[in-house]
Structure 1
Amino acid sequence: MAERLQKILANAGLASRREIEKWIDAGRIKVNGKIAILGTRVSFKDKILVDDKPFYLNNTQVINQTIAYHKPVGQICSRNDPEGRDTVFSHLPKLKNQRWISVGRLDINTSGLLLFTTDGELANKLMHPSSEIEREYAVRVLGAVDVDMKKKLTHGVKLADGIAKFKSIKEAGGEGANHWYNVVLTEGKNREVRRMWEAIGVKVSRLIRVRYGEIKLNRTLQSGNWEQLTLDVITGVNIKKAERKQFNNKKRR
């Protein structure tokens, strides 16, 4: 039975479905000697080349894995870096016939919970804005934050790429000029949390992601280490109810 090319490659853990669609648009994938297009369907009989390298469909029969990684400050989320900086991928377990896909990114100065999976379809669902999955961060800021400033952050501040707002903001203590807050939002734009605070004139001195959906950063998981996640934990991520039911039914087949 033929399946859409991007779905097959995503399920094999090659990349997220959206990323593979970009590869198809860029002409990087061929099927039976012809450049693939969006909508191309393939089966086990077809010959697939990705960047002119053979890809075998039986790779899709491997068991997908998902892990939680405690990212330290100083690591970047790229697979390779021309400047030779430390990357998160060099600290993950080695795979055979699969590759890790990062569920979102954290900038070099942000630490905390980062999810990785070999399941491209899962990665796409966890990252897609329509899933409305909560991301919670512990933020340390320099200086006082008054009631009006908090209202701006929860009602919406204007950024270069649109309006952004926190779903919630709670005080979490602090000493001297430093104050901690726990903030929650449901999207993952580039440096969004930092830019929101900067928009109201407040500087972030430390930023830690402590939760993604229902998955929390394990306090016993040391910085730079990872742990395997079970299927019930993964499918418990706070995807919208209708989508979660459909996803769970699919996993049981």
Structure 2
Amino acid sequence: MNTVTQKSEKLQKVLARSGLGSRREMETLIESGVVTVNGETATLGDRITLDDRVTVKGKAVRLKSELDMPRRVIMYNKPEGELVTRRDPEGRRTVFDNLPRLKGERWIAIGRLDINTSGLLLFTNDGELANRLMHPSHQVEREYAVRIMGQVDDDMLARMRDGIMLEDGLARFSDIQSVGGEGINTWFHVVIMEGRNREVRRLWESQGVTVSRLKRVRYGNIFLDKRVKAGEWVELTQAEVDDLSGLAGLQSKSVNFGPNDQVPSGRKQRGRRPVHAIRRRR
């Protein structure tokens, strides 16, 4: 391919698209000085074409164009007790232990859940998609089911809708709905537009009540499939991947199920499921 006709792109964007991690992870990698472009140490802001020679920690990287890389997304039902990290120094279980293997790529988590939170986690092989769905500028909704211990009144709910000043800035729920129960088994569904650390728990705790269970049930327009049990995953349909891509402002791309993408031993992939309608609570 002639470099004259190629469009240059930011280095971290190309590395993310090539399956090395999220764009933010690639920026950190570049800043650490382990990435080279044509034999020179790379810096943030560098732009490259697919004809450039790139290495990471001394290993050559196969750069991929958008057409080379089918966009894939899987839904994982995270159980409590698992960490959203690739490796844990203490040897604790991680969400990546249960995911299907990819050849020449790796799964990138779209957002995080803390160790005591369960439910919907999305993973993709497309770093640009992950970056856009996580970035606050795209205002992607995250919906959680929350079990509360303590007395909840209308004034408390109004304060959390209007906004509470936490240690890292103003936080609010864009929607709160009571879904039943009483006493120590009172449940609510809440919606937030960003993914700050423990934000849902901290908002409730600022009102003097305790979150005894927390489960994510929706990310953007994707709802947790009730057929997917804790610790299992399912690949999204092409229509669902297209919906997510549109939400992130990206064009659709075909899904290609490779022969080397194997389900880990002891796990089974559920059948591909129909697209869920987007529900909106008022």
Q: 8 Å contact 2:81–2:116 — kept in the other structure?
A: yes
Q: 8 Å contact 1:167–1:186 — kept in the other structure?
A: yes
- State the one-letter code of the partner of 2:13: K
| Other-structure match for 2:51 | 45
Q: Partners of 1:164 and 1:58 in 2: how far apart?
A: 38
Q: Partners of 1:121 and 1:138 in 2: how far apart?
A: 28
Q: Partners of 1:18 and 1:144 in 2: how far apart?
A: 40
Provide the alpha-carbon RMSD of the alignment. Answer: 1.9
SS of corresponding position for 1:172: strand
Q: Give the TM-score normalised by the residue count of structure 2.
A: 0.82
- State the one-letter code of the partner of 2:159: K
Are 1:35 and 2:35 an aligned pair?
Answer: no
Q: Percent identity?
A: 51
| Other-structure match for 2:279 | none
Please report how far the alpha carbon of residue 40 of structure 1 lies from its aligned counterpart in structure 2 after TM superposition.
2.0
Q: 8 Å contact 1:133–1:238 — kept in the other structure?
A: no
- Name the structure where helix makes up a greater proportion of residues: 1
Give matches, 1:171-210, under 5 Å: 171-210=178-217
Q: Partners of 2:161 and 2:216 in 1: how far apart?
A: 18
Q: Partners of 2:122 and 2:234 in 1: how far apart?
A: 10
Rate the CA distance shift 1:164–1:37 in 2: closer, same or farther, 3 A.
Answer: same
- State the one-letter code of the partner of 2:15: L
C-alpha distance after superposition, 1:156-212 (max 9, x if no partner): 112110010000101011143321000001000000000111111110000000000
Q: Partners of 1:3 and 1:154 in 2: how far apart?
A: 40
Q: 2:71 aligns with which of 50, 64, 68?
A: 64
Q: 8 Å contact 1:158–1:199 — kept in the other structure?
A: no
Q: Partners of 2:64 and 2:165 in 1: how far apart?
A: 48
Q: Give the TM-score normalised by the residue count of structure 1.
A: 0.91
SS of corresponding position for 2:20: coil
Q: Partners of 1:205 and 1:238 in 2: how far apart?
A: 34
Across the two proteins, how many residue pairs are aligned to each other? 247
Q: 8 Å contact 2:110–2:121 — kept in the other structure?
A: yes
Are 1:118 and 2:121 an aligned pair?
Answer: no
Are 1:9 and 2:32 an aligned pair?
Answer: no
C-alpha distance after superposition, 1:106-161 (max 9, x if no partner): 00000000000000010011001010000000000102201111111101112110
| Other-structure match for 1:150 | 157
Rate the CA distance shift 1:130–1:86 in 2: closer, same or farther, 3 A.
Answer: same
Rate the CA distance shift 1:239–1:63 in 2: closer, same or farther, 3 A.
Answer: closer
Are 1:214 and 2:221 an aligned pair?
Answer: yes
Please report how far the alpha carbon of residue 100 of structure 1 lies from its aligned counterpart in structure 2 after TM superposition.
0.6
Q: Partners of 1:69 and 1:47 in 2: how far apart?
A: 35
Query: Which stretch of structure 1 is more off in the superposition, 181-190 or 3-12?
Result: 3-12
